[in-house]
Amino acid sequence: MNNKTLSPAAQHVDRKIGPFTATSIVVANMVGAGIFTTSGIMAGQLPSSGWILACWLLGGLIAIAGALSYAELATRMPQVGGEYVYLKKIYHPSIGFLTGWTSFFVGFSVPIAASAMAFSEYIFEGLQGQFLNANSGQLFFIKKGTALFLILLFTGIHYMGIKLGSKVQNFLTILKIGIVVGLAGTGIALTGGKGISAFSFVTQGESSWLAFGTAMMLVMFSYSGWNASSYIAGEMKNPRKNLPLSLVLGTSIVIILYIALNLFIFQAVSYDQAKGTIAIVERASIGAFGLWMGDALGLLISLALLSSLSAFVIIGPRVYFAMARDRLFFPFASKVHPKYKVPGRSILIQGAIALIMVLIGSFEQLLVYIGFALNIFPWLAVFGIFLARKRQIGNSNAFKVWGYPVVPGFFLVSSLFLMAVNYLNRPLESTAAVVTVLIGVPCYFIWIKRFAQQSQ
């Protein structure tokens, strides 16, 4: 089926998303598995908790710089599709295709699978400790089945329209913020309320700039999602006002939540206890509240992960929808459901890929190797601000990034440094990520040739 047969209504999405939903999508995308696992891993890399605080603050500044930069890009080109739209218009359609290509295969489907499996790990860790008595084999299949069910559930919810999806997303995001704020606030109060003094710059081991860079990669993984609402600009009410607001406000909320949660962690456990601990929040909860309550809070953390899963299900299909509308993807992905007014086919395709990823097993290495590739496209997009202004691309009345050119320049330099460190630390996975992106180049030209032949 060729896109030419699609009616305009079949390729049009309504502007129904308000600032609250847009901000909640940003928060939900950012607050995921990263914040609940990375501080313990960072403790094994850095000499003291003060350096961990510095990493979270620096990562927040990078994320804010990226959010401000994307606010200008998104209001210059306020269409559905995010980076795909910016890169296509600023550079070449092939570059836009590559970001969509990468997003389609692992950029959104892997995080959906990861969030579903992380939910299963957290919830059954707590249930196993308190109620279940399953053996390892049984628990494996229970966790897999739960993850598959969650993906099917949220794919179905967001397939049934943005109105229902927005209500679910807003509820889950409020629940997530409540859990994180409640956990951090109560924990800080019960462990003495030391405040910023909980962090120490006293060296407790050797470290290096490479270790600092590795820790920053973990931080930026946790902050990823600061650009989330830019993908839905074409469905947002008054995007020139609401899109910058959602990006900056959402990122700022997350920075505060992350600092508060780390205050709780390093008041509840010693630095030596934190080193190398992946389930660091659960360990801190046990230290602050006792074993039974710590396991119970693990169950609450699993609920917080549902917000991230839901947000990924919303965002990804908008990229495939935009690509298909430009005849750079399967034509049926550009169809909007006649009743629910969402890119329904794209939502279903994404859900199917996420299901497959859960079924084939481990996804940790996929997250590591694709992290490098996904950093390439935001870097190109932010650099595109300079080109867009020079060439007068897009709406000249768009939001202007504050502190130009320092703010986007800070993001570019910082991101380039982190990509270099990523390559030095993980050359195999980073090379594999680059190869994944490059495979999309011949695919783009094959696709173009195919549609050129169909048009004749």
Which three-class secondary structure string do you get for the chain?
A: CCHHHCCHHHHCCCCCECHHHHHHHHHHHHCCCCCCCHHHHHHCCCCCHHHHHHHHHHHHHHHHHHHHHHHHHHHHCCCCCCHHHHHHHHCCHHHHHHHHHHHHHHHCHHHHHHHHHHHHHHHHHHHHHHCCCCCHHHHHHHHHHHHHHHHHHHHHHHHCCHHHHHHHHHHHHHHHHHHHHHHHHHHHHHCCCCHHHHCCCCCCCCCCHHHHHHHHHHHHHHHCCCCHHHHHHHHECCHHHHHHHHHHHHHHHHHHHHHHHHHHHHHHCCHHHHCCCCCHHHHHHHHHHCHHHHHHHHHHHHHHHHHHHHHHHHHHHHHHHHHHHCCCCCHHHHCCCCCCCCCHHHHHHHHHHHHHHHHHCCCHHHHHHHHHHHHHHHHHHHHHHHHHHHHCCCCCCCCCCCCCCHHHHHHHHHHHHHHHHHHHHCHHHHHHHHHHHHHHHHHHHHHHHHHHHHHC
- Contact criterion met (CB below 8 Å) for 351 and 111: no
**Which pLDDT value is given to residue 160?**
84
**Which pLDDT value is given to residue 65?**
93
- Contact criterion met (CB below 8 Å) for 199 and 49: yes
- Contact criterion met (CB below 8 Å) for 452 and 109: no
Residue with tokens 């930069």: 69
**Which pLDDT value is given to residue 385?**
93
Question: How far is residue 273's CA from residue 281's CA, in Å, rounded to a whole number?
Answer: 12
Closest CA to 354 of 32, 74, 43, 103: 103
Question: How far is residue 61's CA from residue 252's CA, in Å, rounded to a whole number?
Answer: 9
- Contact criterion met (CB below 8 Å) for 230 and 69: no
- Contact criterion met (CB below 8 Å) for 330 and 181: no
Which fold does the domain 3-455 belong to in CATH?
Amino acid/polyamine transporter I (1.20.1740)
- Contact criterion met (CB below 8 Å) for 96 and 84: yes
**Which pLDDT value is given to residue 7?**
42
Question: How far is residue 216's CA from residue 375's CA, in Å, rounded to a whole number?
Answer: 13
Cα dihedral value 325, 330, 331, 334, nearest 10: -50
Domain locations in the chain as residue ranges: 3-455
Q: What is the pLDDT of residues 59-111, one digit of tens each?
A: 999 999 998 898 888 888 877 667 878 898 999 888 888 887 887 777 778 78
* The total number of residues written for the chain in this structure: 456
Closest CA to 75 of 64, 66, 86: 86
Question: How far is residue 354's CA from residue 116's CA, in Å, rounded to a whole number?
Answer: 9
Residues 6+ positions from 218 with CB-CB distance below 8 Å: 34, 38, 41, 42
Q: Residue 290 burial (CB < 10 Å; 0-12/13-18/19+)?
A: exposed
Residue with tokens 């897999």: 144
Q: Which amino acid is at 114?
A: A
Indicate the angle between helix axes 427-455 and 406-425, nearest 10 degrees: 110
Q: Which amino acid is at 346?
A: S
Regions in the chain scoring below 50 on pLDDT: 1-11, 363
Question: How far is residue 255's CA from residue 260's CA, in Å, rounded to a whole number?
Answer: 9
Question: How far is residue 352's CA from residue 449's CA, in Å, rounded to a whole number?
Answer: 28
343: left (phi over 0), alpha (psi -120 to 50) or beta: beta
Q: What is the pLDDT of residues 302-345, one digit of tens each?
A: 777 787 788 788 877 877 787 777 777 777 777 787 777 788 88
